[in-house]
Amino acid sequence: MDIQFSKEETAFRDEVRAFLKTAWTADLADRYNAPGSFAQATVEWQRRLHARGWGATGWPVVYGGTGWSVTQRFIFESERAAYGAADVSPFGLKMVGPVIYTFGSEAQKQRFLPRILSGEDWWCQGYSEPGAGSDLAALKTKAELVGDEYLVNGSKIWTTYAQYADWIFCLVRTESVARKQDGISFVLIDMKSPGIRVSPIASIDGVHSLNEVFFDDVRVPAANRIGDQGKGWSYAKSLLAHERTAITGVADSKRQLTRLLELARREISGGRPLLGDPIFQSRLADVEIELMALEYTELRVLSATAKGKGPGAESSLLKIKGTQIQQAIQELFMDLAGYYCGAVEDAPGLGKSGHDFGSEARRAYMYGRAASIYGGSNEVQKNIVAKAVLGL
C-alpha cells in the first residue's frame, strides 16, 4: 500500500491544519469538555464544519457531502485527532444520515439531510431494549398502523444523549412473524411528540450520557418510515456496519497513545519515568503494533467502501480490535496515574503534581468498559466473523 502523500494531498493536509487552528478554538474546546455546555459546543462545531463545506466527510456530494477520497478522509481524521478537535456527533452524520440517503424517499432526503448537515437536528439511536441488546431482533417495541399513523408503545435503553435529541431513529415491530428479523420497521420519531418520556441512567463514570426512552401511545406519521414496512432489519444492518466502523476510532487512539508516551516520560513523584519500566514498555509496544495493523486494515476497508463495496464482516473485525485497543490504552493511563485516579477534579495541587489527568483517566477507563458492548458486543461480532468469514 502506497502511504506517500502526493503534492495535492500534502496541500490538503496543510489546508486542514489551517482550518483547525482557526475553527477549533480554546473557548470551543473548553465548552465541549464541560458537561453543562457539551451539547451546545457539539452543535457549534458541526456548524463551523458545515460552513466550511466539511460537514459530512463521508457523504456523497449530491447530498451535501464532501465527496472526499479515502486518503482525504484519512488525512482529515488524523489531523483532527492530532490537533485535539472533537469528532462529530455520530448519530445523525454517520448512522441515520447514510440510511436516509440510501433507502429514504426524496421527501425524506430533502426534509432531514440538510438539517443533519447544519447541526439543526440532534439525533439519538433507538435500538437496544431491556432484554433485547445483543439479541437486537428480539425487540418488542410495537408500532401499530392506524390510518396514516403508527401508534408506538414500548421502550429503548442505553440511548446516548437522548436528553439533547430532537429526533430518534427507531427499530419497531410492526408485524408478528415466525422469523424475528422480519416484521421490524425503521421509523423516525420526533422527540417532542406527546407520550415520550426520557429517564436518565447513572453510569459508572459519573457523567449523564445514557437514558431510557419510553413510548406511550406515541403517534408517528407513516411517512416517517424508511423504506418498506417490515424490512427495517435490512436497513438496520447497513447502519450497524457504518456504526461499527466508526467505533474503531483509530485516529483518536493514535492521539491518546501519543499523549500516553508524553506523560510516561515524566518523572513521577521524584521517581523514574514509567516509560523506563520494561513491562510497561512491552505493553506499550504491543498496543502500538496492534494499532498500526488496525490502521492499515481500516484503510483497506475504506478503500473498498469507496469503490462501492459496503463494509461487511470487516466492520465487526474493526469494532472488536478497535475497542480492545481503546481499553488497553485506558488501562495504561490508569497504571500511569496510579493512586491519582482517585482524586477529584479540583483537588489542591493536582495540576502542580503533573497528575491532573488522574480523574480524566478514571472516567475514560470507567466509560470505556462499555466499548466492548455497545454497537453490538464483541462476542456477537465474533459470531458474525465466524459465520461470514470462516463459514462456521
Grid look-up 406511550 returns 216
Burial grade of 162 (CB within 10 A; 0-12, 13-18, 19 or more) = buried
> Residue 221 corresponds to which cell in the numbers above?
406519521
> Residue 70 corresponds to which cell in the numbers above?
479515502
Confirm whether 243 is a catalytic residue: yes
Torsional class of 374: left (φ above 0), alpha (ψ -120 to 50), beta (otherwise): beta
Map residue 345 onto helix, strand or coil: coil
What stretch of H or E contains 250?
helix 250-264
Residues near 103 by beta carbon (within 8 Å), at least 6 away in sequence: 186, 226, 227, 235, 238
Q: What is the DSSP string of 161-206?
A: TTTT-SEEEEEEE----SSTTTTEEEEEEETTSTTEEEEEE--TTS
Map residue 41 onto helix, strand or coil: helix
Q: How many CB atoms lie within 10 A of CB 259?
A: 14
Grid look-up 459530512 returns 56
Give me the catalytic one of 79, 129, 243, 295.
Answer: 243
**CB distance 172 to 184 below 8 Å:** yes
Per-residue CA distances from 60 to 69, 98, 131, 298 (Å): 11, 9, 37, 20
> Residue 87 corresponds to which cell in the numbers above?
469528532
Q: How many CB atoms lie within 10 A of CB 120?
A: 14
Provide the residue type at 61 as one letter: V
Compute the distance between CA of residue 370 and CA of residue 381 in angstroms, rounded to an integer: 15
Query: Which residues carry out catalysis?
Result: 243
